[in-house]
A and B are shown apart, each in its own frame.
Chain A
Amino acid sequence: MKILFVGRLVDFKGPIIFIKAAQFLSQNTPENPHEFIVAGDGELMNECKKLASGYSNISLLGWVDQQTVNDLMDQADVFCQLSPYENIWAASLISAMKHKKAVICTDVGYTRTYLTHNYNVFLIPPNDHVVLAEAIKKLANDSQLRHILGENARSFVRENLSVEKITGEIQQLLVQVVEQFREKRISE
């Protein structure tokens, strides 16, 4: 199983929890270790390196280009989005959903407003690497759930996050502002 984290290595994205969960699972199931991949760079890189040292199944790739991110997404079985504050709408989360990945996501901010536990994401509380490890274990043992989450995630992106629909909304907002501005100038 390949478990993927993509994002800046900063507190806001929660990379430390990911590596701690990787450590936890590697120590508890050494006979069949998952592969944990971290793609991203940031101020927590040194701390991440320290935590990952000695674990050959944890890879820290640093910053990678979009093509590499797409390749990693294709290969991954589970994607983790772990902000302790807000996940909606991280580009990496949308990318993982678009790639039909089973996403483990922290239940913070507006996450639950838009995404549904056990339907299009697997929600967990923030800042808890043991719960994250359990969620990874559950998804690792349930290929059907992974498949369902991935399919529903992709449908959500298609139905709600299409660029055509959003651009139309932005265009309408721009037209409104331009008209308001003109009216205001005429009345002045």
Chain B
Amino acid sequence: MRIAFVVARVGDERNVIQRLSLVLAAELRKLGDTVDVFPFTRGKLFSFLSYKNLRNYDCVLVANVGLQCAYFSIYKRLRLIRKPFIAISFGSDIRATNNRLINLFNRISKPALDLLIVINPDLVAIGEKRGYRQVKYVHSWASALP
């Protein structure tokens, strides 16, 4: 399977999410998948054609329902990308229900996401309450962090 994996803050050592995402990408490759990581920065917001690269994959995987997820979700909602979208939530992106920015990113992303994978069991109820169509829980693979 060819997977486009959108990850923000790649290289930021303080950010556990990007470290877990890179571990996952490496493990999926071991299972035979082609995984290309698309580092997302705020500068990408103005690369209006960057979505075209995502068309060559079987699915788009996004680490966290943050700005990066909302951004590419807009392209899917405009039908410029016709691929399944899967987001992995690490908690901070959906848990705070009184954070306006988080709520905005969730509102934009939700209709575009075919599946929300969560790595904390309490996030299943939170994701469903937010109205996600499909929410699945898997254990965290943080044990693989070096």
Interface residues of A (CB under 8 A from B): 63, 65-66, 86, 88-89, 91, 94-95, 97-98, 109-110, 113-114, 157, 160-164, 166-171, 173-175, 177-178, 180-181, 185
Question: In the complex, how many residue pairs between chain A and chain B have their CB atoms under 8 Å apart?
Answer: 99
Are B140 and A94 in touch, CB under 8 angstroms?
yes
Residue B117 is within 8 A (CB to CB) of chain A in the complex: yes
* Residues of chain B with a CB closer than 8 A to A97's CB: 143
Question: Can you name 12 extra interface pairs (CB under 8 A) apart from A167-B24, A181-B84?
Answer: A86-B120, A89-B142, A91-B16, A91-B20, A91-B142, A110-B122, A167-B27, A171-B1, A171-B28, A174-B86, A177-B134, A178-B59
* Residues of chain A with a CB closer than 8 A to B83's CB: 181
Are B119 and A169 in touch, CB under 8 angstroms?
no
Asked whether A178 and B14 contact (CB < 8 A) given A94-B142, A94-B143, the answer is no
* Residues of chain A with a CB closer than 8 A to B23's CB: 163
Are A66 and B145 in touch, CB under 8 angstroms?
yes
Are B143 and A174 in touch, CB under 8 angstroms?
no
Are A162 and B143 in touch, CB under 8 angstroms?
yes
The digit string for B9-34, where 1 denotes a CB below 8 A from any CB of A, is 00001101001100110011011010
* Residues of chain B with a CB closer than 8 A to A65's CB: 13
Minimum CB distance partner of B134 in chain A = A177
Are B119 and A89 in touch, CB under 8 angstroms?
yes
Contact-residue bracket for chain B: 35 or more
Q: Give bound CA distance, A160 to B141, whole Å.
A: 10
Interface residues of B (CB under 8 A from A): 1, 3, 13-14, 16, 19-20, 23-24, 27-28, 30-31, 33, 58-59, 61, 82-84, 86, 88, 114-115, 117, 119-122, 134, 136, 138-146
Are B33 and A91 in touch, CB under 8 angstroms?
no
Minimum CB distance partner of B61 in chain A = A174
Are A166 and B141 in touch, CB under 8 angstroms?
yes
Interface residue from A161, A180, A181 paired with B143 (Cβ < 8 Å) = A161
* Residues of chain B with a CB closer than 8 A to A91's CB: 16, 20, 140, 142, 145
Are B1 and A178 in touch, CB under 8 angstroms?
yes
Q: Give bound CA distance, A86 to B121, whole Å.
A: 9
Q: Give bound CA distance, A170 to B144, whole Å.
A: 15
Q: Give bound CA distance, A43 to B20, whole Å.
A: 24
* Residues of chain A with a CB closer than 8 A to B13's CB: 65-66
Tell me how far the C-beta of B18 lies from the nearest C-beta in chain A, rounded to whole angstroms.
12
Are A170 and B138 in touch, CB under 8 angstroms?
yes
